[in-house]
């Protein structure tokens, strides 16, 4: 079985308040995009995890894909599998690649072993692995609240438009991103702003992480301004960064073909 866990972008991201458990309540719209890792799952005589592509730091035991397998194995006594992850989505980029990989392991194991778990049950398991993981079970545009695990449908159609994503190879840690954010629960909800015409998003749909992250990494503000100069109708940082993206009505060109440290893609919705 071969699966393609996708990246996501955030359209607006409000940090509402810090909770007693140390997490923050968020309000955002998450949208899957056609930039994917590759995940292979096969029955095996013993459990094996193999990873290629971009290097994932840390031990195998801490890997979210392995944790996802062990979680379902503890509940359903699964047989061993061979798992191969080809990593294409950069880490620490605000694109949710690790969360997508974990969610797709759950989805793949559900199908491989005919567990017949509902999406709601898969979302429950996914929420235990990470705040964004539940989003990737349905893999469609959704409004995310709470830590990111409280999901509701979002009627969003960007078909025919183009997405340009730029990752300058800067790793923004979660602690770093939250350190400079002042929570504010008084603004308009992301869901209400998403319903407005996309031409109005530029001045209304904000990512609360941009202020502090741009201060620490001014190049990201330059990238955002360049995206608007190129004709983007909306540009922003995804998640806590450092990936920047612009939405275009006409197909944009690549800007950094000769810069090997940057990742740049033009995708069609």
Q: Which residues 6+ apart lie within 8 Å of 40 measured at CB?
A: 1, 2, 3, 82, 83, 84, 85, 86
How far is the C-alpha of 264 from the C-alpha of 269, rounded, in Å?
Answer: 16
How far is the C-alpha of 212 from the C-alpha of 177, rounded, in Å?
Answer: 7
CA torsion, ordered 209, 211, 215, 217, to nearest 10 deg: 40
Known catalytic residue at 8: yes
Residue of 16, 67, 29 whose CA lies nearest to 178: 16
Known catalytic residue at 157: no
| Residue in this structure with the two tokens 């009505």, named with its chain if needed | 249
Would you say the C-alpha torsion 34, 209, 68, 106 has a positive or negative sign?
negative
8 Å CB contact between 136 and 100: yes
Long-range contacts, 188-193 (Cβ 8 Å, 24+): 189/14, 189/27, 190/11, 190/12, 190/13, 190/14, 190/27, 190/28, 190/29, 190/143, 191/27, 191/29, 191/143, 191/152, 191/154, 193/12
8 Å CB contact between 11 and 205: yes
Q: Please list the residues that pair with 167 across neighbouring strands.
A: 263
Q: What counts of helices (H) and strands (E) characterise the chain?
A: 9, 12
Q: Which of 27, 37, 101, 132 is catalytic?
A: 132
Residue of 125, 124, 159 whose CA lies nearest to 140: 159
Which positions are catalytic? 8, 132
């Amino acid at each position: 079985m071969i699966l393609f866990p996708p990246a996501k972008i955030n359209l607006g991201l409000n940090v509402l308040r810090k909770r007693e458990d140390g997490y923050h309540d968020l309000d955002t719209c998450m949208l899957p995009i056609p930039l994917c890792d590759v995940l292979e799952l096969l029955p095996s005589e013993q459990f094996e995890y193999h990873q290629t592509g971009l290097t994932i730091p840390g031990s195998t035991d801490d890997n979210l894909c392995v944790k996802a397998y062990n979680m379902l194995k503890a509940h359903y006594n699964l047989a061993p599998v061979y798992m191969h992850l080809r990593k294409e989505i950069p880490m620490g980029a605000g694109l949710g690649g690790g969360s997508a990989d974990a969610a797709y392991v759950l989805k793949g194991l559900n199908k491989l072993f005919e567990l017949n778990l509902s999406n709601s049950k898969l979302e429950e398991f996914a929420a235990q692995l990470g705040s964004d993981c539940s989003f990737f079970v349905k893999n469609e545009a959704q409004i995310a609240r709470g830590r990111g695990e409280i999901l509701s449908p979002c009627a969003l159609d960007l078909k025919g438009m183009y997405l340009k994503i730029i990752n300058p190879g800067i790793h923004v840690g979660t602690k770093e991103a939250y350190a400079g954010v002042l929570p504010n629960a008084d603004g308009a909800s992301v869901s209400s702003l998403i319903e407005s015409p996309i031409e109005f998003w530029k001045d209304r749909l904000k990512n609360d992480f941009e202020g502090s992250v741009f201060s620490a990494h001014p190049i990201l503000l330059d990238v955002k301004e360049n995206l608007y100069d190129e004709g983007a109708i909306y540009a922003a940082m995804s998640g806590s960064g450092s990936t920047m993206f612009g939405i275009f009505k006409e197909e944009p060109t690549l800007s950094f073909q000769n810069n090997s440290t940057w990742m740049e893609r033009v995708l069609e919705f």
